[in-house]
Structure 1
Amino acid sequence: MSQVSVARLLLFVTLQVAFVLCQDPDALAKQTCNQVKRDVFEERVAISFFFANAPVRWETIDSCHGSRPLIVGGTPAEPKEFPPMARLGNRNKRNNTNWFCGGTLISHRLVLTAAHCLYSENGAVNVVRLGELDFASDQDDAEPEDFAVQKIIEYPGYNYTMLYHDIALLQLDRAVKFSVYKHPACLPFVDGDRSENFIAIGWGHKRFAGRESTKLLKVKLTNFGTRCLTTTDLDELPNGYNVSTMLCIGSAELKDTCNGDSGGPVLNYHDDYPCMYHVMGITSSGIGCETPNMPSIYTRVHYYLDWIRQEMAKSS
């Protein structure tokens, strides 16, 4: 094939990709999500036969199977159940670490979190742990690994005295090697308005003013729609609840996120892959903890996809 023909072919492919992305803005997110699933959960193995000159046949073994039921109460997470989960902290010169926020791995180098976590009284976020399950045990089925924070990327519209645009990214000092213990969540394909339930996870306090959990906990929460327009009265939200940039999520029971869960994700299961999740929201603010029918506010990730993609491109 001539150089001219090759150039024309590349141009045609580029235009086709551009056309697909224009028709479906989330096509790249879907492609990335599918690729992570294939890399982590699919393995090509050679199948040979016991006679001479038999051809080798290749098969794909897919370990992403079986679905877990939605959680009905706050319970400890299972091993390898939430590989995107990150915990954020400050490590001092004496190598002592104070953990205080959560986050979500979304690429080889980026962790998504709440911008207000960057202003913690515990110090600057300078360390991220991935692959952890129980901080009090080294015998659990986990592969914890710590990463230094190389760069902090705060959303340009965030003002730390308020909770609007409460979203930030942390660039890790090295690429994460994906495995069943740590791999990214998919970016959302939809805004979450039609989602009935979400899964919240974190190592936060079990109750208001209580102790943090050493174990990663999970809880099923409900979409309260626009109810936060009338139930939310926070000094940090002088203009009220913003339906475009926030999600209103809670429970009619004694189930909620709490102190220490900030920055962590609320997730939805992937429609096709039970081993994958979409990060739909970021734990931002609430009133107390475990108050029935008193929803909390979460940053709506879908609203910020353009900004997230721009930063992902810069870090790749």
Structure 2
Amino acid sequence: MGFFLETLIGGLMTGMLYSLVALGFVLIFKASGVFNFAQGAMVLFAALAMARFAEWIPRWTGLSGKLAVNLLAFLVAMALMVAVAWLIQKLVLSRLVNQEGITLLMATLGITYFLDGFGQTLFGSDIYKIDVGLPKDPVFLMEQRFQGGVMVNQEDLAAALIAAALVAALTLFFRFTGTGRALRAVADDHQAAQSIGIPLSRIWVIVWSVAGFVALVAGIIWGSKLGVQFSLSLVALKALPVVILGGLTSVPGAIIGGLIIGVGEKLSEIYLGPALGGGIEIWFAYVLALVFLLLRPQGLFGEKIIDRV
């Protein structure tokens, strides 16, 4: 039982990180109707920016304290992500208003490869470290109840708590602020929102900036765990099955979907892997997403689209 709880907790913490990346997909799709395939590349680009600025700032400014360096690196990386969001809106999205969905998808694919290549040109292609002070050592819980206790990775726990706090903050932002209500209005009906004076271009810059902020936080967490390397964008794409499972338009769906996939892949790898030959953790999320596409394409919490003629 202790080992099962250990696997379950690990899956929940990994699932919360998947949810954090998936949130970027959902935010952009809700506000602009664009399925942002570039979210994984944004996570990688943001992580590279954070890692490299944390190296360069001490040489540029003479700062030596880790907290001050990391804080300044975070602010500079965030400013860069906002600039990227503004350029995407100005140079790409504003020129593709009212185009077909496949056109917008191909545009985000182009953005993906541009960010991958530009990130490598700007920041280099080595493996970089991000050290923001997350604890690395595991702790053992419930040692009196289970023999040997339940091992929990402190870094995973801290990362999951940060992700949960960010998700909660974004939920409050969308529900209780004027900008958040404007974003929800744009998500419901672009033309109606525009008719009452909500500027779509400004809203799209805001939502891409928020997605950039989410990508930066996710990149820092994943970079701290795995190191910043170009395979990080592939890890971030694990959020694609999450949004298919939870629903493209649902913030709660992104959270629940991430938790289901995080727990499902860990339990299946441990308990089914020996019988099926292992490697289940690699493809579990995508097979589950395929099942949902066949049986419930709108996801658990997505809106069912009905065309009437």
TM-score (norm 2): 0.27
Decide which structure has greater helix share: 2
TM-score normalized by the length of structure 1: 0.26
Rg larger in 1 or in 2?
1
Q: By percentage of residues, which structure has more strand?
A: 1
